[in-house]
Amino acid sequence: MEDMIKMFAKAPEEERKALMRERLQMFASMPEEQRVESIGQLVQGLTSLKPKQREEFIKGRTMIIASLPEEQRRAIITGRMKAGTRIPQDVHESDMQLTEHSVPGLPEDLRMNFMKSMEEVRKSMGVVQRGQEAAGGGAPQHHGEPMVLKGVLSKKYVCTVCGYTQPA
């Protein structure tokens, strides 16, 4: 996977986008377990890129995901969320942060597509959105479990199931 990622990173922008679109569509058509594994390998493999290359790669990936048909978009986002439990937490968090930072730069229609699908996936997985708390107050929930408050200077809630984080 790392070799493929490095090849994508070196390719001209249009070729890189076409190759990434093809790969993401292939992932979307895979059985769920295989999709989750492949997406996890992709995210893990991105750590082999220099920070600026990685950021650009994730921006491109986010734009492509946002432009996919809804069914494929949701399959990829679901696979990515589930892959978060199988990769190192720091890799998961960094990838999610770079993805979140790239969404505002999308054209409005693509941004709305991505956010709608992300919200639907989070709801279907039992993920509580930022700022929402459990019905009885207290810590927000993720996967139906209360998240744990961590950090000293920068407090954040962390899911003990998948490592997803959100600011406190």
Instruction: Judge if 97 and 110 occupy the same domain.
Output: yes
Pair 109, 93 in one domain: yes
| 135 and 59 within one domain | no
- Pairing type for strands 156-158 and 165-167 reads antiparallel
Percent over 70 (pLDDT), the chain:
90
| Total tally of structural domains belonging to the chain | 2
81-137 residue pLDDT tens: 999 989 999 999 999 999 988 999 999 999 999 999 988 988 888 764 444 444 445
Q: What is the pLDDT of residue 61?
A: 95
Residues of the domain holding 158: 128-168
Mean pLDDT of the chain: 86
In this predicted model, what pLDDT tens digit does every residue of 40-64 receive, in sequence order?
A: 999 999 999 999 999 999 999 999 9
Q: Residues 128, 162, 100, CA angle at the centre, nearest 5°? A: 60
Q: Is the pLDDT of residue 76 over 60?
A: yes
The reported pLDDT for the residue numbered 68 is 97
What is the pLDDT, as a whole number, of residue 137?
55
pLDDT at 133: 42
pTM, to two decimals? 0.75
pLDDT band at 9 (very low <50, low <70, confident <90, very high): confident
Question: Cβ distance 148 to 132 under 8 Å?
Answer: no
Whether 30 and 63 map to the same domain: the answer is yes
Please state, in angstroms and rounded to a whole number, the distance separating the CA atoms of residues 92 and 158. Answer: 12
Residues 23 and 106 reside in one and the same domain: yes
My answer on whether 71 and 33 are in the same domain is: yes
